[in-house]
Amino acid sequence: MAKTTNHTELLKAAKKAVNSLMFNPTPSKKVAAIDALASICQLVLELDPPKEDPKPKASKSKKKPKASKAKSKSKTSKKAVRRPKRSSADGLEQAQAKAGTANKVGKVAKTKVVHAITEGDAQPFEPRKEVPVVEPKVRKKEQMKLTLLPGESVDEAMARHRSAVLEQERLEAEALIADSNPMMEPSFAPAV
């Protein structure tokens, strides 16, 4: 305990001497600061630190049996649950069952549920239907195929393209109806 008190008192005295010298430098204060620092240096040189003992290394033989036991357990558990490979018929069937498309073959089409009449957001207790979701990449490719008219934006060109597709589908539907019903006059034919 005496050593602890001694070194703390030396540190406080050295701090006081150095601060006094820094704020009001005089030759006598310089000598006092050098003496205080010399006494601290002398204290540090007199200390003999204890020798460090090398830490004992853990034997590797103890760790290996634990690891081998864990490996043997994991091997037995993997053998107990056998999963079919994707390339096998069982694996393909399992993959299709997970996707909910066991009766379909090929790429699964993404769909979303909308209101059956307005095709807006689906509401509770209202009729619903599924519609295919257009991927952003597909939409971008369609935009890249369009030719823009002078002064036309991409959105306007897409709207023009959609209306042209709808008109084409309407004309095809009317032609099919006219072929199946000879009594009906087609609306696209000129009136006589």
pLDDT of residue 56: 67
Reduced 3-state DSSP string for 70-133: HHHHHHHHHHHCCCCCCCCHHHHHHHHHHHCCCCCCCCCCCEEEEECCCCCECCCCCCEEEEEC
List the one residue out of 49, 42, 30 whose CA is nearest residue 6: 42
- 97 domain residue, yes or no: no
Burial of 18 (0-12, 13-18, 19+ CB in 10 A): middle
Range of the structural domain that residue 174 is part of:
146-187
Distance CA 35, CA 46 (A): 17
pLDDT of residue 147: 82
Burial of 26 (0-12, 13-18, 19+ CB in 10 A): exposed
Query: 28, 45, 62: which is the final residue of a domain?
Result: 45
pLDDT of residue 19: 92
- 151 domain residue, yes or no: yes
How many CB atoms within 10 Å of residue 192? 4
- 95 domain residue, yes or no: no
- 6 domain residue, yes or no: yes
Interval 81-94: pLDDT, tens = 666 555 655 555 56
Asked whether the beta carbons of 21 and 29 are under 8 A apart, the reply is yes
pLDDT of residue 64: 52
- 170 domain residue, yes or no: yes
Q: Rounded to the nearest 5°, which phi and psi values hold at 33?
A: -65, -40
- 140 domain residue, yes or no: no
pLDDT-flagged residues of the chain (< 50): 1, 101-102
Interval 147-171: pLDDT, tens = 888 898 888 988 898 899 999 999 9
- 27 domain residue, yes or no: yes
pLDDT of residue 1: 46
* Total tally of structural domains belonging to the chain: 2
The structure tokens 């619903």 sit at 128
pLDDT of residue 102: 46
Interval 68-79: pLDDT, tens = 555 555 555 555
- 20 domain residue, yes or no: yes
Distance CA 154, CA 113 (A): 28
pLDDT of residue 4: 60
**Whole-model pTM over 0.85:** no
pLDDT of residue 170: 93
